[in-house]
Amino acid sequence: ISGLFYSSLSTPADGSTIKTLTSVTGTSLDFGGTVTGVKVSINKGGSCWGGSSFNQTCPYFTSNSATNTGTNFSTWSFAFPSFTSSATGDSITIQTQATSSTSGTETPSSGRTFTFDNVAPTVALTYTASSVGVGTQTVTATYSEAVSSAPNISINQPGTTDISNVA
């Protein structure tokens, strides 16, 4: 199998929606040689990251290579650029490319695509308009996106015991 080598992404997951990304990680392997480096291409809307903006034809592998976190890039990490704070809703594709000590440069795979969603969800509260003395009051919370955990809900009742997290 000499001459066979590859690199692949471990994170982020393909098809995922993420709020923030500080690094991408992956693995690589070279049968019959040594992986000497891994580079990353970041594609947004058909233009690739050139180091300070999306101004390159894709794929474009920056000169900044991944950091070796294993042996001969068996695992690696790449610091993600800081453009993420303004990339809400953007679809991003990441490709990797390994370099082998004996076989040259890898032909990159199609990579992984994910979407940035770094805007906090919103909530709208509605309740029945009748006055409530004793009895039931219905409060409905409608979120702008799916919630991953149960929200903490508290109702301040001046002069009485407050209500917190009642199902």
Report pLDDT digits (tens) over 122-144.
888 887 766 656 667 777 888 88
**Cβ-proximal residues to 27 (8 Å cutoff; 6+ apart), any chain:** 7, 8, 10, 70, 74, 75, 76
Whether residue 110 has pLDDT greater than 90: no
DSSP readout, 11-44?
ESPTT-EES--SEEEEEEEEETS-EEEEEEEEEE
Name the residue among 104, 39, 29 with its Cα closest to residue 66. 39
Residue 2 confidence (pLDDT): 55
Residue 19 confidence (pLDDT): 82
Q: What percent of the chain has pLDDT over 90?
A: 40
Whether residue 117 has pLDDT greater than 90: no
Spatial separation of the C-alpha atoms in residues 66 and 149, rounded to whole Å: 34
Angle in degrees, CA 80, 82, 85, rounded to 5: 120
**Residues 70-80: what's their mean pLDDT?**
92
Q: What type of residue is 3? A: G
Predicted TM-score (pTM) of this structure: 0.72
